[in-house]
């Protein structure tokens, strides 16, 4: 009955933690491709090949449903995977749609025409690859009209978080927020378009100011997954064991993951 959660590194642990609290009876198999992180500076073909390889590993672990808890993979690989690669008895879902549904106040499966929404000026903070894909703007256009999106590629933030250098990560966040606000001085809302960024949510909020509503993904994805499994219980796979897998150094990744989640996390080699 396992569900797979994939990320290029450790950022997806924010999603795993929220899903584990929301669905405590579902075994979760997490795979972090730390050997190839970060994905945000890779080409679309490279991201696609790495993501399909990792997803195959999660299928092999008994996960019929895999969540790409990586915005870069969701932006650069998901549509191509769903159109031509995912087996008929499996499902691979991304993390963009739950966040856009929250931003536009639409329920899952609401396929009515796009309409005006409260947020008119939206700041998007994401990796360079996610920004370049324009996947967020494409998905938003299906649901909303009249929304101005200003995207900021946040180079270096993922690397700093993965290295545990939160002082550098804080400085980079403030620099990127400053750069965006020179282009969009008064955003209504801000999207943290990388699952690493919830670890810096307080820093983003402080730099943006109290009047900007910050949308972070972890709880939104967990709620969306719970709803999906209520409607599609057959997509819970046959696996029965929870696991943390990494393509990197298990000892090093375990130490960093334990620091992130403030509880003991033990990774094994993927």
CB 104 within 8 A of CB 143: yes
CB 266 within 8 A of CB 31: no
Question: How far apart (Å, rounded) are the C-alpha atoms in residues 25 and 242?
Answer: 11
Active site residue 194: yes
How far is the CA of 201 from the CAs of 126, 157, 168, 208, 217, in angstroms? 13, 12, 15, 10, 11
How far is the CA of 228 from the CAs of 3, 30, 126, in angstroms? 12, 19, 26
39 annotated as belonging to a binding site for a ligand? yes
72 annotated as belonging to a binding site for a ligand? yes
71 annotated as belonging to a binding site for a ligand? yes
Question: How far apart (Å, rounded) are the C-alpha atoms in residues 179 and 154?
Answer: 10
Residue of 16, 54, 194, 212 marked catalytic:
194
Residue of 70, 78, 140, 200 marked catalytic:
70
Question: How far apart (Å, rounded) are the C-alpha atoms in residues 67 and 255?
Answer: 24
51 annotated as belonging to a binding site for a ligand? no
Question: With the CA atoms of 38, 34, 253 and 79 taken in that order, what torsion angle do they form, in degrees rounded to the nearest 10?
Answer: 90
* Sheet architecture: strand order including 28-32: 91-93, 65-68, 3-7, 28-32, 243-246, 268-269
Active site residue 154: no
For the annotated catalytic residues, the residue numbers are: 70, 194
Extract the annotated binding site. 7-8, 39-40, 71-72, 195-196
> Which amino acids are annotated as binding site for substrate, given as ranges?
7-8, 39-40, 71-72, 195-196
């Amino acid at each position: 009955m396992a569900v797979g959660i994939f990320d290029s590194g450790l950022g997806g642990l924010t999603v795993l933690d929220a899903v584990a609290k929301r669905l405590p009876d579902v075994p979760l198999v997490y795979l972090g491709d730390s050997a190839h992180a970060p994905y945000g500076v890779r080409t679309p073909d490279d991201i696609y090949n790495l993501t399909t390889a990792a997803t195959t590993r999660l299928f092999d672990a008994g996960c019929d449903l895999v969540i790409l808890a990586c915005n870069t993979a969701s932006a650069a690989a998901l549509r191509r995977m769903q159109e031509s690669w995912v087996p008929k008895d499996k499902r691979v879902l991304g993390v963009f749609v739950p966040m856009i549904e929250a931003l536009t106040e639409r329920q899952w499966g609401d396929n009515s025409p796009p309409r005006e929404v409260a947020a008119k000026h939206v700041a998007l903070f994401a990796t360079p690859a996610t920004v370049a894909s324009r996947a967020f703007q494409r998905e938003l256009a299906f649901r909303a009209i009249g929304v101005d999106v200003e995207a900021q590629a946040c180079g270096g933030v993922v690397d700093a978080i993965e290295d545990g250098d939160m002082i550098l990560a804080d400085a980079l966040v403030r620099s990127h927020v400053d750069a965006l606000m020179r282009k969009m001085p008064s955003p209504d809302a801000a999207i943290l378009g990388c699952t690493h960024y919830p670890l810096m949510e307080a820093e983003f909020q402080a730099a943006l100011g109290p009047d900007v509503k910050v949308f972070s993904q972890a709880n939104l994805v967990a709620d969306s997954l719970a709803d999906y499994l209520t409607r599609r219980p057959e997509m819970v796979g046959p696996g029965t064991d929870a696991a943390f897998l990494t393509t990197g150094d298990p000892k090093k990744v375990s130490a960093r993951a334990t620091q992130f989640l403030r509880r003991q996390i033990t990774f094994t080699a993927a």
